[in-house]
Each structure stands twice: as C-alpha cells, then as structure tokens.
Amino acid sequence: MSAPVLFEERAAGAHRIGIATLNAPATLNGLSLAMVDALAERIDAWEADPGIAVVVLRGAGEKAFCAGGDLHALYAGMREAGVGGGARVDPLAIPAARDFFEREYRLDYRIHAFSKPILCWGQGIVMGGGIGLMAGASHRVVTETSRLAMPEIGIGLFPDVGGTWMLARAPGATGRFLALTGASIDASDAIYAGFADHAVAGNRYEELVAAMTATTWCDAAGENAARLDALLRRFALEGLEAGPLQRLRGHIDACCAGHSLEAAVEAIAQAAVEDPWWQKAQAALARGCPSSIRLSWELQHRTSRLSLAEVFRLELAAALACAAHGDFAEGIRALLVDKDRNPSWIPATLNETGGAFIETFFTAPRATGAHPLADLGCDDPQRKPLEMS
C-alpha cells in the first residue's frame, strides 16, 4: 500500500528543500486523516531541522493539488453515529468528524504559523481541504490549469478550514459571493482575490525546483522568503487575462455589499448577467443548502474582528454542528453516494434558518473542560488587517 504522503529532501548547497506530495491522484488527492497526520508530523520535524530552508507542498498527478476532504469517510462516520433522515445527534458523538476536523484545522493553522517559507504548488483543482492547506503557505503558486473553489454550500457544510478568514479578506464583496455560490476561480482571479501570490506555467515545476536547489539559502527565514519571492518572479506566467471575478466585480458588489443575506440572495438570483460563470453561480446558489448559505454569511460577519485561532475555534463548532444536524450527510449522499444530486435539505428554505436555529451552530463543542482547539496560539501570523464595511 502506497504512503498517503510522499516525502523527499533535495540538497541545496548547505541546506535542503523538503518536498511533501499528497499521494492519492485517483481521488484528486482527497485529504484523508492519514494525510493530515503524516503532514503534521513531518512539518513539525522540518521546522525543527535547521538544515531545511524551504518546504514545498504539492499533489501527485497533474489534475489536482487537492480536491477537498475525504467525504466518504466522514459520511460513514456520520451514518454510524445515527445521523441522517432528519435525525440530529450530539456534535461530540461523531468521532470521525471530531477527529478529522480538529486535526485538519490544527494542521492548517500550523501552516499559517510555520516559521519557514512554504511554497504550495496549487496546480489543477484546489477545493475545500486543499484551500485549507494552501491558504496558510507563505508562497502560494497557481498555474494556467488552477481552479480554486469552496463549494461547500452544495454539500451542507460551509467554507471552513480557515475559509472564513480568507474569504472575508477578499476585495469588496467577492468573498461573500464566492461563499454563497461556491463559484470557482482561475489563476488570475486567485491572485486578485488574495488566494495566491504567484502564477507559474504548470510544465515548469521541475525547472523551478531545480532552480531552488541551485539557490543559496541561509539560516534566516525572512531572507529565504525574499529569495524565494525573487525566484518566483523569474518564473512568472505572463499574459494572464482578468477572470470573471474581476470582470464582474461591479455586479458582485452591487448584489452582496449590503448587510442582508436575503437581499443578497435575491439580488444574485435576479441579476440578468449574460455570462456563463455568473449563471453557473446562480444555479449553484439556487440548489444550495439553506442552512449552509446562512451559516456562510453569518460566519463572515461574526469573525471580522477575531484572530485566526479564534476563527478556527468557531469554525470547528460550526463544522461539528453541521455533521450532527444532518444536511452535511445528506449533501454527501446526494453528490457521492447515491449520486442522485437531489438532496432533501432540512430546513428547506432560507427563511427557516434564522434566529434560534442558526445559533445552534455556534455552541462551543466541548463536554467538559476547554475547547478542543483552545491551545492554538492567539497571536496571528502577520496578515493584512481586516477592514469590513
């Protein structure tokens, strides 16, 4: 049986480059708990190793960096705990969800806080859990084939893995729009939205790594980050055209810049925009899970002044509540198990998701003692301060 993550180290003068490759190309490198644990262990080891100057995180194959979390395992765990058919259980009574989300979020936060440069090679599909791995990397690289999305409203979840933090920092109302519609964006829009830093042609990966091994690194992480930036600028992919997020920014802001979710949903649905990307987003919103739509909107508003660690703690509460509520299991069933693409959401309408109902998603997940992520540091990595209207 092949290892879930392949690790290698390449000599770079007096230092080394650590390379971690998600190794499940048949499932588009879907993120499993085994992958999470292997990455966490090796990242800690590489941070403690003074010989490692830079880390590279990539996916096997050319189709995807990581298309998301292992939904089949989560579905099995939820059904084993009795979730489904409208039944709701204790959020802490689903070990598969509790273990996966807690350890995944710890890893994602660890990447954000990593003291050395991490280059994430975001080629192909980058969704859900893949976004979580990529978001915290110091050097996020996309290619001409990259497609980034957080389409969780379609499966009864929400843009988690720190997605709340990232989307809230996108320009204007674009983060709200992406959360509500799950729309995918290309390399140009990923850089525009702040989800990526550099674009490089996909066929230049090995050339880039060879250049990294030929670079003189030092013991100062800040200087190494600057040298990696300079190197990536040499490989910059030229001629990227503005994607639909940029082209349709005026429509997006007009629909989503206000403080009413209902008004935003209605405006998106009614906007007569002759663009296939917009129309696909409209259709995704129309069939999305109402509780997920409400939750995605509420999280961006409630976390505007929270630290990154606090955002992860709130997201964990919400994710476990989604697992316990039933819509998450139903969404996976409809998409991946029965594949009928006809989920039965409970509640069925957005009007039924407000008030006391949505508040149940924000209860801290603990039976006794501290929050499961209480030990995450409260001092965020350096990031641009959040400004929200």
Residue 314, Cα to own-chain centre: how many angstroms? 15
- pLDDT tier, 388 (very low <50, low <70, confident <90, very high otherwise): very low
Q: Which residue pairs, CB below 8 angstroms and at least 24 apart, start in 34-40? A: 34/4, 35/4, 35/5, 36/100, 36/103, 36/104, 36/107, 37/103, 38/3, 38/4, 38/5, 38/7, 39/5, 39/107, 39/133, 40/103, 40/106, 40/107, 40/110
Residue 199, pLDDT score: 98
Residue 194: closest CA among 373, 29, 387, 389: 387
Alpha carbons 386 and 365: distance in angstroms, whole number: 26
Residue 381, pLDDT score: 45
Tell me which amino acid residue 324 is: A
Alpha carbons 383 and 380: distance in angstroms, whole number: 8
- pTM of the complete model: 0.94
Res 387 pLDDT > 60 = no
Each residue of 317-337: pLDDT tens digit? 999 999 999 999 999 999 999
What the chain holds in terms of domains, given with CATH numbers, is 5-362 (3.90.226.10)
Each residue of 271-315: pLDDT tens digit? 999 999 999 999 999 999 999 999 999 999 998 889 999 999 999
Residue 268 and residue 180 in contact, taking contact as beta carbons nearer than 8 Å: yes
Within 13 Å of residue 217, how many CA atoms lie on the same side as its CB?
29
Residue 386, pLDDT score: 30
Residues near 67 by beta carbon (within 8 Å), at least 6 away in sequence? 27, 28, 29, 30, 125, 126, 127, 128, 130
